[in-house]
Amino acid sequence: MCGIVGYIGEQQAYPVLIKGLHRLEYRGYDSAGIALINPEGTLSVNKAKGKVAALEALCADKDITGTIGIAHTRWATHGEPNTTNAHPHYSQSKNLALVHNGIIENYKSLRAEMENHGLSFCSDTDTEVLVQLVEYMQVSHECDLYTAVQLALKNVVGAYAIAILDRRNPDQIICARKGSPLIIGIGKDENGKAEFFLGSDATPIIEYTDKVVYLQDEEIAIMDRIGRMDITNLANVKQTPQIHTLQMNLDQLEKGGFPHFMLKEIWEQPNALRTCIRGRLNVVEKDVLLSGIIDHKERFINANRIIICACGTSWHSALIGKYFIEEATQIPVEVEYASEFRYRNPVIHSDDVVIAVSQSGETADTLAAIQLAKSHGAFCYGICNVIGSSIARATDSGTYLHVGPEIGVASTKAFTGQVITLALLGLAIAKEKKTLDEQMFHMLVDELQQIPDKMQWTLEHNKHIDQFAQIFTYAKNFIYLGRGYNYPVALEGALKLKEISYIHAEGYPAAEMKHGPIALIDEEMPVVVIAPKRGIYEKVVSNIQEVKSRKGKIISVVTEGDTTVKEMSDYCFEIPDTRDCFVPLLAVIPLQLLSYYVAVAKGRNVDQPRNLAKSVTVE
């Protein structure tokens, strides 16, 4: 949700910043801007509505020299996406320029106060209020920029990650964060000269250095050209930065020959899951090892209840996790929308285990849910993909997905990574609690090990979906049906379709059809049914009959070799047989491919769908 990049060093800043913006474009892409201080000491700001490419076109005939700069790609919260509201924003005197990710909740009262002091504003944004406030503090307290930033931030309510330049000091960038992520990269250029990079995540940094500092809430950092970095908190207490080494490589951030990141990430799933289970699933000794629970076994064994908090796709994987963990461990599991949980005064006991599931580890609502659970003394466990993310750091322990960076806005490999990680967690707890008999435990371990190969088969077997996706571009609505473990898959299939093709789609438990949604069925309505030859197969077959007799178009996901449902279907995708609880890992693959190819056939921008951003760091 908005991307920030910054650079100070001896290199030209513009190419670093533009490349960084491209890498962060998945976080927001309605406008972009860049601020540079050139060698003559001019602070220039260039901004364009639309994608980063529009900014590049604008800058083609501008002075883009300078070895210090900040840049931003926006996902609008306050004020419509246009050039005026794009970041960076100047202060009144144009001595300062600031980029911001987050929301300043009291910006209206701050703005009114400053207007009373004679300041004028040109945008509708909370960000302009922030930069004006910093300058107001600088002037009224006759202090340096650092002190002014500190004073300003003490007056704001809300979340922020900011970077700020001062025309009068071209050797320094100041940045700060609270509730929105910011990472500082510490590098050396080819002449051994110190340089610093800033990023909302590590993707704009990894090309230059793998040494990073994750700025903590309420910390302010000053980076200067001679390689000095000072970090203090809002209370002016000096902090000792912890330097981390990034575990990511550049190839993971490229499309690798695929037309879109989404398709690349769909095809990456077998290998991503192999990495996810490596060292955790031991088929020889029939064991599951999750380092995140080793020191906390008692919390899990004695848990009265598990609550899983998540949003969007992660909420769907959490629902699958609930079914599995309850079945395997006999611990009651509740799944909560983090955005509801955090505001509804939930009952949380100190013997609850609260699990946050989040690809980015930065989703504001999920983070807030965890903070709430912690304040009630619950043990908090994070299942995140992004290493060092806010949720990973806010939780008591956790497990990383290790599926590699997910760049496509529509989540694919993170979903399957989350499902398999929750299965590992369920098995690890079941082992400690001895709630599964040995034979069943061994069988599940063996079956889980085979999932990546079965996934590969599923991908190869269903790659022809591109040939008939065109047929469905007429549809205004889709219905997705599934039962048991496949109900969340129906929800996920529907979400994938709507977010990238803009076709309205709903997922339902198949048996709920007759309680209302069946009224929607006619010969125009494509109905996707997940109908593996497992569990309550016969019941699902009856549900398909109900749709067919109302002339709905059946698109089914069936177990390889099943002819019954195939014959009832207009289109059919096969998946290999697996145990009920692991079907979602395979059944979701044709649904991901279907949504991808329908969106492509409709000419949609698959990796950057309208109105969406990858990481929702605002509530």
Which residue number, 329 or 412, has a Cβ lying nearer to ligand F6R?
A: 412
Strand order in the sheet with 379-384: 333-337, 305-310, 352-358, 379-384, 397-400
Q: Is 576 in the site for ligand F6R (CB under 6 A)?
A: no
Segment near ligand F6R (CB under 6 A); pick from 114-122, 318-326, 346-354, 356-364: 356-364
In angstroms, what is the minimal distance from the CB of 315 to ligand F6R? Answer: 7
Which residue number, 280 or 614, has a Cβ lying nearer to ligand F6R?
A: 614
Asked if 108 is an active-site residue, the reply is no
In angstroms, what is the minimal distance from the CB of 311 to ligand F6R? Answer: 4
Segment near ligand F6R (CB under 6 A); pick from 35-43, 205-213, 308-316, 326-334: 308-316
Q: Which of 372, 401, 547, 616 is the binder for ligand F6R (CB under 6 A)?
A: 616
Which residue number, 129 or 392, has a Cβ lying nearer to ligand F6R?
A: 392
In angstroms, what is the minimal distance from the CB of 409 to ligand F6R? Answer: 6
In angstroms, what is the minimal distance from the CB of 606 to ligand F6R? Answer: 11
Cis bond before residue 88 (omega within 30° of 0)? yes
Say how many C-beta atoms besides its own lie within 10 A of residue 56's C-beta. 18
Task: Give residue for tokens 């965890």.
Answer: 370
Positive or negative CA dihedral for 208, 213, 214, 220?
Answer: negative
Segment near ligand F6R (CB under 6 A); pick from 114-122, 220-228, 312-320, 534-542: 312-320
CA distance 529 to 566: 11
Q: Which of 85, 127, 132, 313 is the binder for ligand F6R (CB under 6 A)?
A: 313
Q: Which of 92, 363, 458, 462 is the binder for ligand F6R (CB under 6 A)?
A: 363
Using alpha carbons, list the distances in angstroms from residue 154 to 102, 116, 137, 139, 150: 16, 20, 11, 16, 6
- Given the residues 2, 175, 276, 311, the one annotated as active site: 2
CA distance 589 to 584: 9
Helices 107-116 & 126-140, crossing angle to 10 degrees? Answer: 50
Residues in a beta bridge with 310: 337
Number of residues that bind ligand F6R (CB under 6 A): 15
Q: Is 128 in the site for ligand F6R (CB under 6 A)?
A: no
Using alpha carbons, list the distances in angstroms from residue 32 to 5, 35, 56, 58, 167: 11, 11, 9, 11, 20
Phi and psi at residue 313, to the nearest 5°? -55, -40
Segment near ligand F6R (CB under 6 A); pick from 311-319, 429-437, 448-456, 519-527: 311-319
Segment near ligand F6R (CB under 6 A); pick from 64-72, 286-294, 307-315, 460-468: 307-315
In angstroms, what is the minimal distance from the CB of 493 to ligand F6R? Answer: 11
Which residue number, 1 or 174, has a Cβ lying nearer to ligand F6R?
A: 1
- Given the residues 49, 178, 496, 614, the one annotated as active site: 614
Using alpha carbons, list the distances in angstroms from residue 329 to 64, 299, 322, 436: 60, 13, 10, 7
Q: Which of 411, 486, 501, 559 is the binder for ligand F6R (CB under 6 A)?
A: 411
Q: Is 125 in the site for ligand F6R (CB under 6 A)?
A: no
Using alpha carbons, list the distances in angstroms from residue 488 to 314, 318, 494: 11, 9, 10
In angstroms, what is the minimal distance from the CB of 383 to ligand F6R? Answer: 9
Q: Is 181 in the site for ligand F6R (CB under 6 A)?
A: no
The helix (run of H) or strand (run of E) holding residue 129 is helix 126-140
Give the footprint of ligand F6R on residues 472-511 (CB under 6 A): 495, 499
Q: Which of 67, 138, 314, 416 is the binder for ligand F6R (CB under 6 A)?
A: 314
Q: Which of 187, 312, 484, 590 is the binder for ligand F6R (CB under 6 A)?
A: 312
Q: Is 185 in the site for ligand F6R (CB under 6 A)?
A: no
Q: Who's near 42: CB < 8 A, 6+ residues apart?
A: 63, 167
- Comparing C-alpha atoms, which of 305, 302, 334, 299 is closest to residue 318? 334
CA distance 506 to 39: 56
Half-sphere exposure in the Cβ direction for 50 (13 Å, CA): 7
Q: Is 359 in the site for ligand F6R (CB under 6 A)?
A: yes
608, 481 in Cβ contact below 8 A? no
Which residue number, 170 or 312, has a Cβ lying nearer to ligand F6R?
A: 312
Q: Which of 410, 430, 444, 497 is the binder for ligand F6R (CB under 6 A)?
A: 410
Which residue's CB comes closest to ligand F6R?
A: 312
Asked if 286 is an active-site residue, the reply is no
90, 84 in Cβ contact below 8 A? no
Which residues would be at the binding site for ligand F6R (CB under 6 A)? 311-314, 358-360, 363, 366, 410-411, 495, 499, 615-616
Active site residues: 2, 614
